[in-house]
Each structure stands twice: as structure tokens, then as C-alpha cells.
Chains A and B, each alone.
Chain A
Amino acid sequence: DAGVTQSPTHLIKTRGQHVTLRCSPISGHKSVSWYQQVLGQGPQFIFQYYEKEERGRGNFPDRFSARQFPNYSSELNVNALLLGDSALYLCASSSLRTGGFGYTFGSGTRLTVV
């Protein structure tokens, strides 16, 4: 079975631009979460989606938005990019609504804002 797939793997954008990151969860997983990870630090929670609805939101500005599609894949959108948005963006899927058994992560999208 394919794991969690994310695209693109690397991306370079200019300040002020917009970016869309994509994630396909493990087949059968209905929950997708997005995390931002700055180099050497732990991932910071951005969003969780379950059954196409937003179920949790972290402490990120409104420039960050996301959605989940009927096939449970997900997109993360970031508008008006800032230099500080440069990070590894991780998507994680899980099969259980209430989790407790851990996520499966994708390899991430490395976003560089210049």
C-alpha cells in the first residue's frame, strides 16, 4: 500500500505569492492533519480535517487555509507568503477520529520563501 504522499517535494516562492500544497492520505484513512516544522524543532499543528470538515485549527494566521476532498486528499493553501513561512510542511493521516495510535506522516514539502 502507498503511504502518505505529498507534492511537491520542494518549492521556492517569492514573498507575497500564494502556494498550494497537496496530500494524499493512506487508503482508508479519513483524517488528515497539517503541520509546519521549522528546522530542528518539533512540528507545529496547523489544521486537522476529518470527513471533509475542519476539526481543529492551530495558532496560525488566516493566510493559512485548507480543505479536504471527497476522496480524503487535502490541500493546504498559504496566501501572502512571508519569509517566516519557510519550513517543512508535513501531512499526517490516521484512521481513527480520536487517534491515540499515532500518525503516519508523508515526507513533507520543503517550502522556501525568498
Chain B
Amino acid sequence: TQLLEQSPQFLSIQEGENLTVYCNSSSVFSSLQWYRQEPGEGPVLLVTVVTGGEVKKLKRLTFQFGDARKDSSLHITAAQPGDTGLYLCAGGGNSGGYQKVTFGTGTKLQVIP
């Protein structure tokens, strides 16, 4: 069974601070996705990384895929209240030739104005 552990589980910070969320596994994934989910809604895809060591930036968000494709990080610069939500990493892989996506345990972020 592939498991993805996220840390921290909860994070409450002041507006303007920086933060990093980690996603770790003992398994290798062919791709790694990050989602943000707001209460009462489904997760919304932020980014997909597929190459070990890959770094992608989305405005104030920086995503990195580990060299061994077992871990990833999400760094937010100058957090804003609109960044509040549940952040989920998800590892993608093939199972019998079909898509298999495993979600992490989640990081709940609260940005206080």
C-alpha cells in the first residue's frame, strides 16, 4: 500500500509569513499533484510535477518534486488569507496500466489577516 504523509497536519500563520508543507512517501510515484480544497468543495488541482527534481512556480507558490520522486514540498511566500484551505498532495502511478492516484493525509492551513 502506498502511503503519503504530509507535515505539518495543521498550520496557523499570520498574513505575510512564509511556510512550507511537506509530502513524504517510501514509494516512488510517476507524478505528484498538489490540490487545494475549501470547505464544502472538491479539491482543485494546483500543479502536477513529473520529473525528479522538478520545480514549478505558480505566483507565490513553489512546488518541488524530490530527486527520487518519493517526496515533494510546497512553499508559499507571503501567505494571504485567500490561501486558507486544506492542501493535499497526491501521488500518481500505474496499476495494471490504469491510473492510480493516492492522496496524502492533508495539511490544513489557516492564514490570519
Contact = CB atoms under 8 A, between A and B. Distances in A.
Interface of A: 4, 31, 33, 35, 40-45, 48, 50, 55-56, 59, 90, 92, 94, 96-108, 110
Interface of B: 1, 4, 6, 30-31, 33, 35, 40-45, 48, 50, 86, 88, 90, 92, 94-106, 108
Nearest to A50: B98
A97 B99 contact: yes
- Interchain residue pairs A-B with the least CB separation, the first 4: A99-B99, A105-B42, A42-B103, A55-B98
A97 B30 CA distance: 14
B101 A103 contact: yes
**Most A Cβ at <10 Å: residue of B97, B99, B103:** B99
* Majority DSSP secondary structure for residues of B touching A: strand
Contact of A96 (B1, B41, B96, B99): B99
B45 A104 contact: yes
A56 B42 contact: no
Contact of B101 (A4, A45, A50, A110): A45
Nearest to A43: B103
Nearest to A3: B42
Contact of B106 (A42, A94, A98): A42
